[in-house]
């Protein structure tokens, strides 16, 4: 696994030291549906997304407890390993066109990517979950190399150090789903609310999310839903890759904005085809489990799109979340549209 660049590694080490001073993080406690309890600590410095160490702290504080369903059947499922969340360069390179084949040859350590953007009134954090295969074992389904789904969480900056989580929007293929805590302030806007957002019972800050096996559509976790798979817990350090049959594992948080990382490689034609779509071909056994294998079918956060949400443009869930949430939700507090930290938009403006 490639070594981290010194700057991002230093930020992560500093964040680990700071987190060690906080109360114990999530263990295996069951989630609850509840409003968010504020974590107010007087005299602590205000967090700023422009600082790498603060982005790590924010991302870790709200990092989901993630229920990943696993299917150990099917030709292309790799005994369940094809459902493991992992890093994009799990095979030691940034060539996305060999990921389908290499998923059978390399370990798949748990990794979740994040981006934090900031306005004067809110933080918006995207968590992106990557799989080397979107696979099937039905003649009515398609398969494709690489898969990337995720969730946006919106946090109101209420004067406490970490603020209050108000809502989440999840990505399930070409559909977005909206969720709010059961006792929350935000309500339906132009889009309906699709359910209650479960929160981890120990921290009462972390959302609880789930992904289906094979196609990996992501939604908020439901306590009454059957589940067979791995529960992933967030970590600031790399953990051991899970093995077939494991019931829990950790995932390492990796900043999309890290030096030499995913966002800086957006123009790499080995990694991306175009417009935020991961490069993916029809090599290996892709298509053998379904009706066909499609090319360039997975998307990075700046390529995520809902097919029928009106004026919200492709990728805005990550690049301009203010535009998305002010349409999706009715929000009682003022929402600043002025970003104090947003590398996605800075890159767009720099091309003008």
Question: What are 206-258's pLDDT values in tens digits?
Answer: 999 999 999 999 999 998 999 999 999 999 999 999 999 999 999 999 999 99
- Radius of gyration of the chain from Cα atoms? 19
Query: Cα–Cα distance between 277 and 335 in angstroms, integer?
Result: 30
Q: Which domain holds residue 141?
A: 6-21+31-350
Model confidence at 201, pLDDT cuts 50, 70, 90, reads: confident
Asked if residue 138 belongs to a domain, the reply is yes
Query: What is the pTM (predicted TM-score) of this model?
Result: 0.89
Q: How many domains does the chain have?
A: 1
Average pLDDT, the chain: 90
Residues 103-151: tens digit of each pLDDT: 999 999 999 999 999 999 999 999 999 999 999 988 889 999 999 999 9
Q: Is residue 272 part of a domain?
A: yes
Q: What separation in angstroms does the CA of 77 have from each of 100, 104, 137, 295, 296? A: 11, 10, 9, 19, 20
Backbone dihedral region for residue 216 (phi beyond 0: left; psi -120 to 50: alpha; all else: beta): left
Is 36's pLDDT higher than 70? Answer: no
26 in any annotated domain: no
Asked whether residue 1 is assigned to any structural domain, the reply reads: no
Residue 3 pLDDT exceeds 70:
no
């Amino acid at each position: 696994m490639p070594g981290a660049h010194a700057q991002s590694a230093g930020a992560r080490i500093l964040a680990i030291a700071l987190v060690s001073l906080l109360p114990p993080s999530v263990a295996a406690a069951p989630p609850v549906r509840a409003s968010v309890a504020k974590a107010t600590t007087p005299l602590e410095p205000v967090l700023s997304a422009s600082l790498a160490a603060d982005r790590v702290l924010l991302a870790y504080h709200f990092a989901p407890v993630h229920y990943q369903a696993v299917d150990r059947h099917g030709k292309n499922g790799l005994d369940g390993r094809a459902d493991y969340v992992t890093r994009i360069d799990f095979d030691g390179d940034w060539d996305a066109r060999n990921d389908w084949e290499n998923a059978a040859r390399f370990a798949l350590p748990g990794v979740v990517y994040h981006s934090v953007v900031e306005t004067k009134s809110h933080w918006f954090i995207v968590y992106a979950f990557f799989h080397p295969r979107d696979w099937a074992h039905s003649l009515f389904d398609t398969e494709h190399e690489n898969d990337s789904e995720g969730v946006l969480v919106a946090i109101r900056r209420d004067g406490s150090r970490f603020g209050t989580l108000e809502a989440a929007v999840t990505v399930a293929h070409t559909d977005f789903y909206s969720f709010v805590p059961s006792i929350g302030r935000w309500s339906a806007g132009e889009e309906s609310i699709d359910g209650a957002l479960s929160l981890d019972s120990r921290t009462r800050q972390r959302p609880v999310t789930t992904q289906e096996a094979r196609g990996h559509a992501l939604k908020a976790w439901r306590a009454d839903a059957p589940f067979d798979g791995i529960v992933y817990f967030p970590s600031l350090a790399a953990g051991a890759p899970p093995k077939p049959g494991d019931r829990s594992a950790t995932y390492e948080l990796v900043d999309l904005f890290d030096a030499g990382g995913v966002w800086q490689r957006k123009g790499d034609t080995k990694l991306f085809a175009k417009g935020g779509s991961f490069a993916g071909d029809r090599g290996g056994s892709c298509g053998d489990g379904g009706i066909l294998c499609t090319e360039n079918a997975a998307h990075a956060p700046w390529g995520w799109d809902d097919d029928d949400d009106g004026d919200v443009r492709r990728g805005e869930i990550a690049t301009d979340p203010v535009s998305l949430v002010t349409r999706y939700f009715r929000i009682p507090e003022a929402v600043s549209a002025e970003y104090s930290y947003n590398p996605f938009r800075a890159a767009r403006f720099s091309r003008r």
